[in-house]
Amino acid sequence: MNRQQRMKLIEYQNRAFTEGTIEFINNQWVFFDKETEEASLLDEFLHQEIELFRFKRWKKGILFEDGKLAFSDEIFHLKDQDSVRIRKLLVFSLEKLLDEMNDDAFFQFITTLNSLQFSVYDCIYCYNQLSFLDASERKSGVNFIVFDNQEHICNVQHHFSYFEKTNDRFEFTLNSGKRMIIEKISS
């Protein structure tokens, strides 16, 4: 699995975006989160990629001042009540942990998490023990990750042992009592 395949798997996760509408109020663009109804200034996302719903599909563009959204071949001007979505950022320690996992462990972790109706974007806490270990050849420890999908909480313990063999063990526990354990050993 190459870097691009990993990014695609993460990119198409559920709840990867904050969706809402925009309004032009007091000479400023205001974003209203569809889920929480919270308001924030759209200027917080200047020079970042956002998506605009136009012509019955989402179009990716870069947000600029004065409500301009630049696409590869054209510029749109935002309108009152336009639907936009903004990609959420991953919890930094989780992002680093995913980068450090080998391909098989990465794939097993993501697909199992998704099968339990969770997304990597549901992460509310991640303790990444791997980031505290030096570049020594022998690494072992446990990472703790907590996810909340608004219906359930999932705690994941990632036990790892990287010696002669690579061992990744994921213990998923939901607040409903459901548990699942997956172990991946490779040489």
Question: pLDDT by residue for the chain (187 residues), tens digit each?
Answer: 678 888 888 988 999 999 999 999 999 999 999 988 899 999 999 999 999 998 899 999 999 998 899 988 889 899 999 999 999 999 999 999 999 998 999 999 999 999 999 999 999 999 999 888 877 678 899 999 999 999 999 999 999 998 888 899 999 999 999 999 999 877 6
Closest CA to 50 of 89, 84, 91, 10: 84
Bridge-based pairing state of the strands 166-174 and 123-127:
unpaired
* Cβ-count burial 112-136 (b if 16+ within 10 Å, e if not): bbeebebbbbbbeebbbbbeeeeee
CATH 2.40.10 fits 17-87, yes or no: yes
Considering the chain, what percentage of its residues have pLDDT values greater than 90?
A: 72
How far apart CA 54 and CA 42 sit, in angstroms, is 18
pLDDT in tens, 109-162: 999 999 999 999 999 999 999 888 877 678 899 999 999 999 999 999 999 998
Given strand 179-186, what is the order of strands in its sheet?
A: 123-127, 139-148, 153-162, 166-174, 179-186
Q: Is 143 exposed, middle or buried (0-12, 13-18, 19+ CB in 10 A)?
A: buried
Domain extent listing, the chain: 17-87, 92-186
Model's pTM, two decimal places? Answer: 0.83
How far apart CA 41 and CA 135 sit, in angstroms, is 42
